[in-house]
Amino acid sequence: MTDVRTRTERSRVPLAGLISATALSYTGNQIVAVVMPWLVLAKTGSASLAGLVGAAAVAPMVLSTLFGGALVDRVGRRFASICADLLSAAAVAALPLLDSTVGLGIALILILVALGAIFDGPGAAAREAMRPDVARRALMPLERVNAWGEAAENVGAILGPGLAGLLLAWIGGFGTLWAAVGLFVAAVVFTATTVPRGISPEPHRGESFLRSIVVGLKFVWNDRAIRDVSIAAMIAMLFLTPLTLVLTAHLQDVGRATDLALVLSSFAIGGLAGAIGYGVVGHRLPRRGTLAGAVALVGLGFFGLAFLPPVWGMAVIAGAIGIVAGPINPVAAVIMQERTPEHLRGRVIGTFASLAMAAGPLGMLVFGPVIEFGGAGIAFAAIGIGCLVSAIYAAASRGLREGV
């Protein structure tokens, strides 16, 4: 009995390590995501320039995730995850180093932010591709493991903005980014020490690199369910990507800039609760209805924010949006993982993520002028409309209706 219990406990170590690494890496990314627009907006006073920096943080991830997903299949999921976090740490460290030596203009900030973003997508794809591997080792259903992975990201979304706000007040400037560097390094340590080398199948190198990318794209396009989930995600991300920019601009306008961390953390706390709840009951729920219903409720929540309530009201609405949004990413992940052959998993996840992010830079560029000329209320309403369009598409999807 003792031996059986020990083996069971050991089988859960890779899962615990992967979830921990996910939370650490995501916290680091959230610190960067909050700090950079904040610094640019404070430095220039221009929401459009802050939106340009936000677009620079998203645009490179579109191609890097597409190419990185194929690379994950070629070099291995564990190795790709470790390398991505190490390179992210190096790219982010360059910002405070150069700021304290030669100084940073907007052009150099854009270049360095874009460089740092290149490694985020492949790292996230590698960690998501490992979820079925650690789920098998832990003897847990995919719905639960994906929900825990989403919960780990929400932990990062809770801690990241809060840490960013504290560090901006305590250290100030680009020095706050050293915390993100440390978190990326910690994620590397957890992955390297808890996820064994042999947990995933051997890397697939039976075709050229460019051919492997094409195969991933064709698979996503030809599988109706995955294709329709990808299109729904693209519609939603077009409108959701500028959320932090909209919040930052509004709270600075009303003199409550320091409350940004409170509102963002409320989104994440709600998301954590929603993901955990889905992990408990998700395997019993219809996937198409859960996905479409959750996205629709998110859209309705943003109409509440469009009335620009006081900060405490925004925090309450944000928490409610987070709760109903909790199942969205786990459902999409399970659909992809179950329908994708083992040797294609990295590139399919990478292709899906790159397609979902493809609309993000356009959203950042468009929402800057929307905020400046229409105001935050109009911007929140636009986000709500975009989510409702995405929900309607998912509900009407023939691929999701027939395939899941």
Give me the CATH number covering residue 273: 1.20.1250.20
Q: How distant is the alpha carbon of residue 291 from its chain centre?
A: 17
pLDDT one-digit tens code per residue, 128-162? 889 999 988 888 888 889 999 988 988 887 888 77
pLDDT one-digit tens code per residue, 202-220? 676 667 777 888 888 899 8
Which pLDDT band holds residue 46 (cuts at 50, 70, 90)? low
Backbone angles phi, psi at 45, to 5 degrees: 75, 10
Task: Give me 111's structure tokens.
Answer: 């270049």
pLDDT one-digit tens code per residue, 335-387? 888 888 888 888 888 888 888 877 777 787 788 788 878 888 999 999 999 99
Task: Give me 359's structure tokens.
Answer: 């609309």
**Domain range spanning residue 232?**
2-403
Asked if residue 347 lies in contact with residue 212, where contact means CB atoms within 8 angstroms, the answer is yes
pLDDT of residue 235: 93
The answer for 287, left when phi > 0, alpha when psi is -120 to 50, beta otherwise, is alpha
Domain count, the chain: 1
Backbone angles phi, psi at 200, to 5 degrees: -105, 160
The SS3 assignment for 147 reads: helix
Q: Is the pLDDT of residue 246 over 70?
A: yes
